[in-house]
Amino acid sequence: VERKHVARIARTHVRGWFGASEAQLPNDPSRQVEHLQTLNRRDPLAVIRLYESGRVQTSEAALAEYVKALVQSNRLDNHALLRTLQIGSTVGASRGQVEMTS
């Protein structure tokens, strides 16, 4: 009985901290991306919190949803990711490795 009570309190605490949609993160990486996409449509800040919590399995698609959330919430301008991308493009351009595609 006590174990069930502790589990219920833990779920309530997680929902309170992350929000109900964030607490329901699936284990499967492709389902996680679907969840992030759905969440991104109504609450980009929740996607940011969830991704930065480390609970999301790293994938290109999950990263894309995270970047979309940063853009939608106007948080990309001051974010370390933008600086990293800028550094990468500067280094690539200086080496002649940046290609423009149409």
Tokens of 95: 């080496």
Q: How many CA atoms lie within 13 A of 11 on its CB side?
A: 9
Q: Render pLDDT for 42-70 as a digit per residue (tens, 0 to 9).
A: 999 999 999 999 999 999 999 999 999 99
Q: Render pLDDT for 7-21 as a digit per residue (tens, 0 to 9).
A: 555 444 444 444 555
Mean pLDDT rounded to a whole number for the chain: 76
> For residues 44 and 84, what is the distance between their CA atoms, to the nearest angstrom?
21
Q: Which of 3-7, 13-17, 36-40, 82-86 has the lowest mean pLDDT?
A: 13-17
Total-model pTM = 0.61
Q: What's the distance, CA 13 to chain centroid? A: 20
The amino acid occupying position 15 is: R
% pLDDT > 90, the chain: 43
